[in-house]
Structure 1
C-alpha cells in the first residue's frame, strides 16, 4: 500500500467507559478533544511536540503512544515507514478516567488511515481491532472511533461494537479531580470473583441502562447502579466514592468515569438546577475538583489530509 498524503490532522474525543454497570463494555464519547498533526519528513527523524496535557511528561520520540499506534497501523497496511513530525494538542486530562490513552491510540490509527492512498484499506472493524490490541478492551476505543454511546464486546471474530441511541434530553457533566489514578492500580483492586447476586443485579442494570439512554432518562439513577467494580475501587479513590454517593443521594445519576477518579453525571431534563445546587456545595477548585460540561460527541474520530504533490 502506498502513501497518498504527507500531512494529516486527527481529532479524537475523550470517552467515559462503563457508565456504571456496563463494565468493560459500554462507553460514551465526550465533547473534549485531542488534536494531532502529522507531517511526514524525508528522513528517519521522529519528533513529537506536545502542548497541554502531558507536556514535558510523555515521550517525544518513537516511544510516544500516538507514534507507536500510527507506525504499527501503517506497517499492518503494508505502507512504507518514514520519519515524521507530530504536534499534539492535548486537552483530555491524563490519568483521570477520560480515555486519554485510547484517544492517543485512535489518533495514531486514524492518522495512519489518512496517510494511505486508499483509506478504505482500513475499515472500521480493523481500526477497532488495532485499538483493542493496544488498549486490552474496546470500551473506550469504540466511542472514540464512532462517537456517541457504544456497546462493545469481543468474540470469535474479534472486537465488535454497536452504537446506542441517546435521548437528546440527557446532559453530561464531568467532575475532574486534580489527582491522577493509574488504570492498573484501579483494576488491581478488583476481585477475581464476585457474588452471583451482584453479577445478576449488575446485568439487569446494564440492560436497563440501554433503555434509559435511548428513551427513558428518568430511569438513569436506577440504571447506573453497579455492584461489580465501583465499591471495590472506593479504597483507592475515597474522594470519588464519597462524591458519587453524595450526588446519588440527591437523585443524580453519578458514576465513576472509567477507572476513575473523574466522576461522570448524567442528568435528565429538569435536573440541571438540582445538579448546580449540589455542586455549589460540594465541588470547586479549592476542594481539588473542577466541573466540565463537554456535551456528547456524536461524530467520533475525524481526520483531514493533504494529498502529496
Structure 2
C-alpha cells in the first residue's frame, strides 16, 4: 500500500476526561472542557518535540514521547512511516491526576497520524482508531470520551474496544478538584482486590445503570447513582486527601467521586450548590465537551 503524507502542519485539540464516574469502573467516561493542543508536521528526518504548559521540562522530547509513540503505531496500521516528525504540544490537562492525560496523548497521536496521511480517514475510521487507542492505553474508559466527546459507555469484545456515545443533560455541571500531588494508575490498580463480594458487584451494576439514566436527563438521581463499592474504598488508604474530600462533599449532598484512578475529584453541581475553595486543590468548574478530538488544518 503506497503512502503519501501532507506537507502542511495539522493541529488537534483533545479533551480531558474523567473515567469510572463512581460505579462505572473501566466502562464509563466523560469528556470535559479542558484541552491539550498538539501541532504536528511531517519533516525530512528526525523527531523534534516541544512541550509547553503541563509537563514542560518533564516530558521527553524524542521518540519516547507518548504522542510520538501513538503516531508511530497509527502510521504502522496505515501502511508506513514518514521520514521525520515535528511536534508542538500545548498542554493544559494536569499530568498523573486521573484526568486522562495519557489517553489525550494517545488519541492526539492517532488522530494526527490519520490526518497527516493521504486518505487516512478512509483507512482508519473512528471505530478502528478506538480499537488502536485501547490497545495502547490498556482500557477504553478514557480514550472513548476523548475521541468521541460527551458521555461514553465503553467495553472490549472479540473485535477490540467499542463505545456508545451519549450527550448528557445540559443541566450537568462538572467541577474538578485537582490536588498538587500526583498519582499513578498502576499504583491505584495494584490496590484493588482480585475478587469482590457478589453483593458489591450487584450494587455497582444497579448504580451504573442508574447513572446512565441520571446523566441522560435526571440530575436529581446523581447522588445515588454515583455511589461505588468496587474501587474507591480500596484505594482510599493511598489517597487519604482524595477520600476525605469525596466524603466531605457527599456529606453535603454533592455527587462526588474519584476521577479515574485519582487523585483528582469530580463533583456534579446540583441545585444552588457552588463549589468552595479547598486548600491545596485547584477548583475548576467546567462543562461537558461534546466534540471530542477536534482536528484543525493550519
Shorter-chain TM range is over 0.9
CA distance in 2, matches of 1:88, 1:226: 36
CA distance in 2, matches of 1:135, 1:4: 26
Q: Which residue number in structure 1 is paired with residue 225 of structure 2?
A: 223
Give structure 1 regions of 4+ aligned residues with deviation exceeding 4 angstroms. Answer: none
Q: Which residue number in structure 2 is paired with residue 77 of structure 1?
A: 78
CA distance in 1, matches of 2:295, 2:251: 42
Shift of 1:200: 0.4
Question: RMSD between aligned alpha carbons?
Answer: 1.1
1:66-145 map, 5 Å:
66-118=67-119, 119-145=121-147
Name which of structure 1's ranges 34-43 and 256-265 shifts more when overlaid on structure 2. Answer: 34-43
Q: Which residue number in structure 1 is paired with residue 269 of structure 2?
A: 267
Look up the SS of the partner of 2:182 in the other structure: coil
Shift of 1:164: 2.3
Post-superposition Cα deviations, 1:252-303, rounded to whole Å, max 9, x if no partner, equal 00000000000000123x23xx333xx24xx1xxx21010112111000011
TM score, norm. by length of structure 1: 0.93
CA distance in 1, matches of 2:77, 2:217: 41
Q: Which residue number in structure 2 is paired with residue 146 of structure 1?
A: 148
Q: Which residue number in structure 1 is paired with residue 289 of structure 2?
A: 297
Shift of 1:48: 0.5
| 8 A Cα contact 1:39 1:86, kept in partner | yes
In the alignment, structure 2 segments of 5+ residues that lack a partner are none
Look up the SS of the partner of 1:11 in the other structure: strand
In the alignment, structure 1 segments of 5+ residues that lack a partner are none
CA distance in 2, matches of 1:250, 1:3: 57
CA distance in 2, matches of 1:303, 1:169: 27
| 8 A Cα contact 2:42 2:82, kept in partner | no
Aligned residues: 295
CA distance in 1, matches of 2:34, 2:47: 27
CA distance in 1, matches of 2:167, 2:58: 38
